[in-house]
Amino acid sequence: MRKKIVAGNWKMNLTLSQGEQLLNDIVNAGLKLEDDVAVVVAPPFPYLQKAKSILQHNPGFFVAAQNCASEKSGAYTGEVSAEMLKSIGVDYVILGHSERREYFNESNEILAKKVDLVLANGMKAIFCCGEPLAVRQAETQNEYVAKQLEESLFHLPAEALKDIVIAYEPIWAIGTGLTASAQQAQDMHAFIRAQVAKKYDRETALRLTILYGGSAKPGNAPELFACEDVDGGLIGGASLVAKDFAAIAQSF
């Protein structure tokens, strides 16, 4: 069986004390997690160590960074390397979020380098893909997402896919209140899995965790997570409210 994941992407929100409060509220929410469910929290860089110290004693909880550098080390002022993240106990790194692609010009080629560095440092990558509204309206979303996978992930050998989680986040659904319908999410997730099966093999594809992201909330998570190929969610806004995030984590 493949792993199910609910991951909270805090983006650039909260102060340290607000973040600590939120983490404590999440771990004290009395979540009953099945063995195959992991809860991942991705706070901003300055809070990662604190998050690790709060979450590490709670089985099933993991810490993610929201990004890392595309170079190993050196004169790159302001950057944070994969090795640094590993050294403070980070478990997952979110890569290729559409906000990074759009505002920080991250290309598929740059993301391929980041994927390699995350895996080389023994962490797992949550690789984000997804199309803008114009592409969805032109009904070319499959080609668009296939290219993102091809250019950033498909250079990896099959065994490396065990450390990859894919998050499908249609850009038109992020922070807009517009959720993809369960059918739209299922169709894209099945397409992604089929692409992986075609490139690698069926076993590799069946083991791959594929998350949905984009205005996921307690109200729509059960329907989305009930889809055959939707293995959880990457949650933005609702991950900042402990009771909403906890409710989503219990939506399988």
Ligand X SMILES: O=C(CO)COP(=O)(O)O
Instruction: State the nearest-atom distance from the C-beta of 39 to ligand X, in Å.
Output: 15
Q: Is 216 in the site for ligand X (CB under 6 A)?
A: yes
Q: Is 175 in the site for ligand X (CB under 6 A)?
A: yes
Q: Is 215 in the site for ligand X (CB under 6 A)?
A: yes
Q: How many Cβ atoms from other residues are within 10 Å of residue 200's Cβ?
A: 19
Query: Which listed residue (214, 229, 245, 246) binds ligand X by CB under 6 A?
Result: 214
Q: Which two tokens stand for residue 61?
A: 């909880």
Q: How far apart are CA 39 and CA 251, in angstroms?
A: 12
Q: Which residue has the tokens 């739209």?
A: 184
Closer residue to ligand X (CB): 175 or 219: 175
**Phi, psi (deg, nearest 5) at residue 244:** -70, -45
Q: Is 169 in the site for ligand X (CB under 6 A)?
A: yes
Q: Which residue has the tokens 């993991």?
A: 62
Question: In this chain, which stretch among 53-61, 101-109, 114-122, 208-216 interacts with ligand X, using CB under 6 A?
Answer: 208-216
Task: Give the chain's length.
Answer: 252
Query: Which listed residue (86, 97, 100, 193) binds ligand X by CB under 6 A?
Result: 97
Query: Which listed residue (5, 6, 9, 22) binds ligand X by CB under 6 A?
Result: 9
CA atoms within 13 A on the CB side of 160: 18
Instruction: Please work out the total of residues on this chain that contact ligand X, with binding judged by CB under 6 A.
Output: 14
Among 186, 172, 178, which residue's Cα sits nearest to residue 131?
172
Closer residue to ligand X (CB): 173 or 205: 173
Query: In this structure, which amino acid lies at residue 110?
Result: I
**Phi, psi (deg, nearest 5) at residue 101:** -65, -45
Q: How far apart are CA 245 and CA 247, in angstroms?
A: 5
Query: In this structure, which amino acid lies at residue 21?
Result: Q
Q: Write out the binding residues.
A: 9-11, 175, 215, 236-237
Query: Which listed residue (38, 44, 236, 242) binds ligand X by CB under 6 A?
Result: 236
First to last CA, the chain: 14
Q: Which two tokens stand for residue 147?
A: 């290219």
Q: Which residues are catalytic?
A: 97, 169
Closer residue to ligand X (CB): 184 or 215: 215
Closer residue to ligand X (CB): 153 or 205: 153
Q: Write out the binding residues for substrate.
A: 9-11, 175, 215, 236-237
Q: Is 121 in the site for ligand X (CB under 6 A)?
A: no
| Positions in the binding site for ligand X (CB under 6 A) | 9, 97, 169, 174-175, 213-216, 234-238
